[in-house]
Amino acid sequence: MPDDAPAPEPAPAPESAPESGRARLLAALRRPSRGQVVVGVLLALLGFAAVTQVQANGRDDNYVGARQSDLIALINTLSLATDRAESEIKDLQQTRDSLRDDADASRTALSVARQRVETLGILAGTVPATGPGIRVTVEAPSGTIGTDQLLNGLEEMRNAGAEAIEINDSVRVVAQTGLVDSQGGALSVGGTPVQPPYVIEAIGDPDTLATAMNFDGGFADEVQNVGGTVKVQQVDDLEIATVVKPSEPTFAKPVGQE
């Protein structure tokens, strides 16, 4: 006989699964809110600041651990170099203004030429020189001070602005001066033998030159490391009388001559 039980009702359709996390992330990236934009900008600024700080720390590593006296000496040297550069700029500007005036042009040009000749003569060592500077007395056992130490000391003087240098009142030191270790502990400077104690006179800014000699790890320390001593005296008026005879060029000639 037929089954009188009612037919079962169809099961309801399942609700859609909740939106996945990946879909929500993509939706947020496509339509960022104002808060997300602000957070992104702040993170970018933070990254930029971190990179800048790392670079700044890298640049300052050269002076980490330096003594306060060395830093002060370095600052003083840079300040004096800046003052010299500003003074030279001022002199050049005055010369330029004088040359613009036709009435003074010839007289100014002649004066500048004479000053240039005198300056080149001092730097080349062909004329005597006088002015403020330092007198460095180096005492050491014979044979301990060699060309390495002396050359480093002369280079430090040059770098500090020395314009004329003389050793033991007998040798004018110029760019072409050679230093050779000789027998018996002596040194040959420009072909002239010199014996300790070495007295080096240099014309230039006394403070700058004295600082260059006493800088940590510089000439004074090198001499002390081999058992010697260095005495630096600032002098208001030095006189360097020795000169060198310029040599005639063999191959070089001025441009324009055959």
**Mean pLDDT (10-residue bins), the chain, 258 residues:** 52 50 61 60 65 56 64 75 81 72 67 78 88 94 85 92 94 90 80 90 94 87 91 95 85 73
142-153 as b/e: b if 16+ CB within 10 A: eeebeeebbeeb
Strand partners, 100: none
Q: What is the pLDDT of residue 206?
A: 94
CA distances from 154 to 97, 150, 255 (A): 38, 6, 33
How many other CB atoms are there within 10 angstroms of residue 13's CB atom?
6
Q: Which of 169, 178, 221 is nearest to 200 (CA)?
A: 169
Q: What is the pLDDT of residue 113?
A: 75
What do you get for the CA distance between the two ends of the chain, in Å? Answer: 139
pTM over 0.95: no
Domain boundaries, the chain: 24-54, 68-124, 129-240
Q: Which CATH number is associated with domain 129-240?
A: 3.30.70.1880
Q: What is the pLDDT of residue 18?
A: 47
Q: What is the pLDDT of residue 95?
A: 72
Backbone angles phi, psi at 2, to 5 degrees: -65, 145
